[in-house]
Structure 1
Amino acid sequence: MATSAGRMSGNRVSTVLGRKLGGELHKLRVEVGKTQQEAAVALSATPTKVVKMESGWVPMRDPDIKSLCELYAVDAEILGQLLELARKDRERRKVKGWWDDSQTIATQVEYISTEDAALSVRQWQMALVPGLFQTPEYTRSLGVADLAWDEIDRIEDVVATRAKRQARLHDDNPLRIHAVIWEAALRQLMGGPQVMSRQLAHLCELAELPNIRIQVLPFRAGAHPSIGGPFTILSFGEDGAVDVVHMETARSIIWFENAAESADFAILFDRAAGVSLSPYDSVRFIASVSKEMRD
């Protein structure tokens, strides 16, 4: 588990593949009973460098990987796999995305860059319409209520950032999204009845896209395993990249990044989807709530 502070260090950013590579090196070190100090000696470096490498904060040089693998008595096949993973990670780090501009809020950069690398997203939302589905008016209403968005310009930056993210829903290789939304998020009057009615109508329009699947978990479903809080599961196409899970609270951003944890959240998501309305019935339900607000 890592907070957002643990994933960023100055201008160094922890990437999906970098964390995978670092996790593999950490596992190999532990398996042979070596300490970070011993690994640092093999690199003629400080333990701090080993910590950064194992956390995926820095791109890794092939000579460093080879030195560590020699210390850990790693065979040639595994060494080759690690070197290939490092190569792919270095290539991805060179790509500058639109989210790197100064208008993107710093706490969003890591999530947005991770989302951009993803092929598909599964999202469970309890109180809000997912950001990729929000209308500008809905987002602005959130900004007015959020004490952290204390300036009009900052609210508009968030609106612009979400619009850029949403462009992926319609490009040549669109992001695939399966969203399960609790009924409460549909009935909370963000911005008033007109804003919410338009937002719900927009959800119905998005549900017609082949890459988007929307389900509503109604109040009548009762207790369910995912009631503890919202989360997002991001899946990738690169070899060696496991699904990662993102959770955001009022005070922290949490990532779960190993196969076992990802599998646990996948089960939670599937169970929530299993007790939700079908996509067809969900659209009918959303449309009925929208009509109630217009009336």
Structure 2
Amino acid sequence: MPNVKPSTVLGRQLGDELRRFREQAGFSTAQSAEVLDCTKGKISRIENGHVPVRTPDLTALLQAYAVTDPEARERLGALARRANRRRRDGWWHQYGSVLGDAYRDQIELEAICDCVKTFQVQLVPGLLQTPEYGRAITVASRAWQTPEQIEQFVQVRLARQQRLAGEGALEFWAVLAEGVLRQQVGGPTVMRDQLEHIAVMAERPNVTVQVLPFSRGAHSGMFGPYLLLGFPQVSALGLVLTETPTGNIWRESETEVTCYRELFDDARTSALPPTESLELIRRTAKEYR
């Protein structure tokens, strides 16, 4: 599976409409590529929302597809402007020196999705990390060398957490393997504070935390962490981010997204209910005192 950059929801909506107009016009991707003097691959990436559509290119495609309806042309033009603006704007751009492409894409998508579900095997999800825990993880990763880079990356984690508060707060559901509670990161004090923080966050109406205990034995989620992102548009297909040591991979085919949804359902039904999970988290926090 190639390590593809994810599309924004707006870009994918635009791409879907362009694909529909292309097919109605009887154009192949090769013919559309001739219109823009580009490769067939670029047309596919435009239609999948992986690359922005410049206004001259959009105008050329709509002309080639004989899209003359002023309302449709204006709607697509506005969609393109909004999608491109989403790519350029955002608080995360000030941290460009410490953000890789995949992580920047993750943050961008978190800003526009309305639901995130995650299964974690060993680490507390970034949206629930305390500064001290996040700092210990960042140092251990060895990806950032200077204190300034480390601190900037920690600040990114904290800024991301704003999506869990305020109007339009993100719905967040985390299933944590018990190893997340037991893997001592940063020392006992850091772990105690971290687990107490998870318990506090889980009391919010938009945050659900469950723990999958060791006693459940083998389960389908043992093979690695992942995130499921859902979007408010009914027509928008979800996205999955799988985490690997050599880089994260975005999966967006309907088959793969459905597979991970089923994996998450298995994990949450196997895990302790939220109330029992919080009791376990609080008991474990006391063990670090």
- Answering whether residue 276 of structure 2 is matched by residue 278 of structure 1, we say no
User: Which residue, out of 90, 101, 107, partners 1:97?
Assistant: 90
Aligned to 1:226, what secondary structure does the other structure show? coil
**How far off is 1:31 after superposition?**
10
TM-score (norm 1): 0.84
Matched, 1:63 2:59: yes
Cα distance in structure 2, aligned partners of 1:229 and 1:30:
39
Contact 1:236/1:243 (<8 A) preserved: yes
- CA drift of 1:258 comes to 2.9
Whether the 8 Å contact between 1:121 and 1:232 is mirrored in structure 2 is yes
8 Å CA contact 2:213, 2:272 repeated in 1: yes
Q: CA separation in 2, counterparts of 1:206 and 1:44?
A: 50
C-alpha displacement of 1:217? 0.5
Structure 2, unmatched stretches of 5+, are: none
Structure-1 separation of matches of 2:241 and 2:74 = 27
Q: Deviations 1:152-184 (Å, cap 9, x if unpaired)?
A: 111101111111111121212211101000000
Task: Report the counterpart of residue 147 of structure 1 in structure 2.
Answer: 142
Out of 215, 222, 242, the residue aligned to residue 220 of structure 1 is: 215
Is residue 149–residue 155 contact of structure 1 (8 Å, CA) maintained in 2? Answer: yes
SS at 1:225 equivalent: coil
Q: Percent identity?
A: 36
Report the equivalent of 1:11. none
Q: Where does structure 1 lack aligned partners over 5 or more consecutive residues?
A: 9-13
TM-score (norm 2): 0.85
Alignment: residue pair count: 280
Which residues in structure 2 correspond to 1:73-222 (within 5 Å)?
A: 80=72, 84=75, 87-95=78-86, 96-101=89-94, 102=96, 104-107=98-101, 108-222=103-217
Distance 1:44 1:202 in 2: 53
SS at 2:114 equivalent: strand
Cα deviation per residue 1:15-67 (whole Å; 9 max; x = unaligned)?
A: 233245446756887999965432222x1412164254234212254434425
